[in-house]
Amino acid sequence: MSFGMLSTPVGTLGVTGEGGAITRVEWVRDAREQDVDALVADALAQLEAYFAGERHRFDVPFDLGAQSEGARAVLMTLHDTVEFGDSITYGDLAARSGTDIPARGIGTIMGANPVPIIVPCHRVLASDGLGGYSGGAPGQGLVTKRALLEFEGALPAPLF
């Protein structure tokens, strides 16, 4: 197992790789010992380029872990079809994925996404607003989601 960290505008990200794939991207509060192999170094470099505005898509191999067939289909549909600067509603993602998972179930799947940013769950919105977000520092999920969407140009920056 390999692990590395990257300071970003939305907090410090920890990236874990195992078995030739990225298995986890998470927000970390405390410094941890890093053991960075080539795969994690590549993922960290791609994330750094993303936050520098130089990369819009990730091509590191990732492993979604234990997921139902429906959840895997939803996450892969999100990864493959919702581009940088775009957004989609929970209901539209459900329909696009070809599953029978209702919009509320899509929200649950987004909350269990093991590789946020790489699989861009921040781009999935409620039909009447931002919806939820479990990423970011504790208690800062929606602030983090809004910051990512503003950074990508999917939401206008607040006037004040």
The catalytic residue positions are: 121
The CA distance from 64 to 123, in Å, is 18
The CA distance from 119 to 115, in Å, is 6
C-alpha distances out from residue 68 to 33, 60, 61, 113, Å: 32, 22, 19, 12
The CA distance from 59 to 160, in Å, is 36
In 9-98, DSSP assigns E strands to 11-18, 21-27, 88-89
**Six-digit token string for 102:** 């209702």
Specify the DSSP class assigned to residue 35: B
